Structure 1
Amino acid sequence: MKKGHVPIRTCRGCGRRVPQAELVRFVMMNGIVWEDGEKTMPGRGVYCCRNAQCQKRFDKKRKMQRRSFRLHA
């Protein structure tokens, strides 16, 4: 990475684009969504705001989760 570069990610709960450090990463392993606090777990990661409302919105919508983790119906 270039010096001064800040990775930007999109929150899957509200759709805002914010620096990666401000978001929580989630991964799916064996059909279960896990919070990846250290951002080191393998697999496709999905980012969500630390805001409980955004996380609740993401958790509530199964269709959004399937799309985010690129799962087939």
Structure 2
Amino acid sequence: MSLEIKVNNILQDFDNVPSDEFLKVINEIMLEFRSTITIEYLKGKIQKITNLTNESEKKKQCKLLLPYFDWYVQGL
């Protein structure tokens, strides 16, 4: 499955996507961003979410990162 399809699937059905799958995909799209500041910010956020143990809290934090998926779909 292409990265674009994965991103669109997450955007269309975020509530049913496990946080681990979300984090895998955001790790992939992060490499497409041109700004080092954005990449470093996302690395920090991903690490913070990974360290959480509560799945519902992980989902809340992942939801805050959805605009990066929109940017990816729009072509950065």
Q: What TM-score do the two structures reach when normalised by structure 2?
A: 0.27
Q: Which structure has the bigger radius of gyration? A: 1
Answer 1 or 2: higher relative contact order, Cα 8 Å, separation at least 6: 2
Which structure has the highest helix share of the two?
2
Which structure has the highest strand share of the two?
1
Q: What TM-score do the two structures reach when normalised by structure 1?
A: 0.27
